[in-house]
Amino acid sequence: MSSALPNFLPFTRPTIDEETIAAVGDVLRSGWITSGPKALEFEDALSALFGGRPVRAFNSGTITLEIALQLAGVGPGDEVITTPLSWVSTANVVLHLGARPVFVDTDPHTRNIDLERIEAAITPRTKAIIPVDLAGLPVDRDRLYAIARRHQLRVVEDAAQSLGASWNGRPIGSTGDFVSFSFHANKNLTTCEGGALVLPDDISPALCERLRLQGVQRLDGGEIEVEVAGHKGNLTDVAAAVGLGQLKHLDAFTARRRALARRYFERLDPTLGLGLPPADFVNSNWHMFQVLLPLDRMRMSRADFIAHLRERNIGAGVHYPAMHLFALYRGLGYREGNFPIAERISRSTLTLPLFPAMQDADVDAVCANIADLLRNAAQ
C-alpha cells in the first residue's frame, strides 16, 4: 500500500517569483495601474518570441478568441469548425458572434481535432477553423493549413494551452493565421487572467485595438469617434507585470514540464491499462499530463477514483467534458453518439499533477498511488 502525500499536491499551481511580486508592487505604487507602459512592454516581449509579428494583449483568452473571430470576418449565419474536446469558451465565442460551432470528432491518438474529418464538415457557410492544441500538443499545422488554403478558410488557432510548444522547430505563434493565447492562472504562463493575439499581415492592429476597447478610435486633434460596439478587453499593467516576470522563466518552465512528463512515462506501470498521451518531447509543452482510465477493468467510477486520490492528498482534474453534450449545445441539436471518440476520451480522461515546481519524487508518489488504487479497483 502506497502512502498518502504529507501535503496536498494540486494538479497545477503557478510559479511566481519574488522579483515579479516586487514588480507588481512597483506598478501599484506608480499611479498608473490599468493598461499603460507595462502592457505595451509585455506585447513587445511576446512579439519578440513570435519573430516580430504584431501582438495585442487582452484581459482573457476568451475575449482574445472572440475578437480574433470577429477580425476573421465571422458573423451571424456563419459556421466555424472546431473540436468537442476543449474548454467551453472555444465554442461559446462562436455563439456570441451569432455563428454556429460545427464539431468534428477527435483523433484517438493525439486527442486533437481529427484532420481526416474536417473536409466532410465544410459547407458553403464555413468561415473558419479553430484548432485547439489540447494539453499543449500541437495540431499538425502543415495538414491543417493545407485544408484551410484549399477551402479558403481562416484559421484562429486556440493556442491557449500551447505557449512554448512548437511545430517544425518554430514556436507556436510565430507562424500561421490568427494565434490566440490565454494567461489564465492554470496556463503555462500566467497574468492571473489574460490573453494575447498574434495578428496576421492582412489585419490592422489599430482595428484590433478598437475592438478591444469599446470601438474607440482616436482622431487627430484629440477627438474620439465610435463606429462599432467594441469590447472591454484591455489587459492591466498589474497583470502585464506578472506576465513579464513569467516570460523570463518560460523556457525553463517548458523544459521542466517535459522532464516531469518523461518521468511519468518511466514510472507509470504499463500493465495497468492506462491510455497514455503521445510521447512527444519536441513539440508539446506538456501543459497537462492526461491518462485515460481503464474504466472497463475498474470497479469504481472516475469520480470515486478522483476522490480516492484526494484522500491520498493528490489532486486530479477532468479536461474536458465533451462540449457538444452540454445542455447549451444539445439545444443546437448535438447528441450523445455524434462524436464517439471524443466521448470515449472525455469519459475516461484524468489530468495528473504537473507544474514546474513539482518534484521528481511527487511524480513517483502519484504513480505509486495510481498503481495501488488500480490494483485494488481491478475486477
Ligand X SMILES: *Cc1c(COP(=O)(O)O)cnc(C)c1O
**Alpha carbons within 13 A on the beta-carbon side of 344:** 11
What would the grid cell of residue 104 be? Answer: 468534428
State the nearest-atom distance from the C-beta of 255 to ligand X, in Å: 21
Q: CA 84 to CA 93: how far, in whole Å? A: 14
Three-class SS state of 344:
helix
Q: By CB under 6 A, which span of 60-68, 113-121, 146-154, 231-239 interacts with ligand X?
A: 60-68
- When the beta carbons of 141 and 312 are compared against ligand X, the nearer one is 141
Tell me: does residue 173 bind ligand X (CB under 6 A).
no
Tell me: does residue 90 bind ligand X (CB under 6 A).
yes
Tell me: does residue 184 bind ligand X (CB under 6 A).
yes
Q: DSSP labels for 164-221?
A: T-EETTEETTSSSSEEEEE--TTSSS--SS-EEEEPPTTS-HHHHHHHHBTTEEEPGG
As a dihedral over the C-alpha atoms of residue 223, residue 228, residue 231, residue 232, rounded to 10 degrees, the angle is 10
Q: CA 353 to CA 315: how far, in whole Å? A: 7
Q: By CB under 6 A, which span of 55-63, 165-173, 197-205, 293-301 interacts with ligand X?
A: 55-63
Tell me: does residue 132 bind ligand X (CB under 6 A).
yes
Amino acid (1-letter code) at residue 84: P
Query: Catalytic residue at 127?
Result: no
Tell me: does residue 12 bind ligand X (CB under 6 A).
no
Give ∠ CA 205-211-213 in degrees, rounded to 5.
Answer: 105
Tell me: does residue 61 bind ligand X (CB under 6 A).
yes
Tell me: does residue 195 bind ligand X (CB under 6 A).
yes
**Alpha carbons within 13 A on the beta-carbon side of 176:** 30
Tell me: does residue 69 bind ligand X (CB under 6 A).
no
- When the beta carbons of 160 and 211 are compared against ligand X, the nearer one is 160
Q: By CB under 6 A, which span of 40-48, 59-67, 242-250, 357-365 interacts with ligand X?
A: 59-67
Give ∠ CA 183-243-284 in degrees, rounded to 5.
Answer: 55
Tell me: does residue 162 bind ligand X (CB under 6 A).
no
State which of residues 35, 161, 175, 290 lies at the interface with ligand X (CB under 6 A). 161
Rounded to a whole number of angstroms, the distance between the first and last alpha carbons of the chain is 18
Q: By CB under 6 A, which span of 155-163, 238-246, 262-270, 340-348 interacts with ligand X?
A: 155-163
State which of residues 158, 177, 343, 362 lies at the interface with ligand X (CB under 6 A). 158
Tell me: does residue 188 bind ligand X (CB under 6 A).
no
- When the beta carbons of 139 and 148 are compared against ligand X, the nearer one is 139
- When the beta carbons of 5 and 61 are compared against ligand X, the nearer one is 61
Nearest Cα neighbor of 183 from 199, 161, 200, 198 is: 161
Tell me: does residue 233 bind ligand X (CB under 6 A).
no
Is 350 in contact with 9 (CB distance < 8 Å)?
no
Please state, in angstroms and as integers, the Cα–Cα distance from residue 143 to each residue in 110, 157, 194, 247, 327, following that order: 14, 14, 30, 30, 32
State the nearest-atom distance from the C-beta of 181 to ligand X, in Å: 9
**Binding residues vs ligand X (CB under 6 A):** 60-62, 86-87, 89-90, 132, 158, 160-161, 182, 184, 195
Active site residues: 187
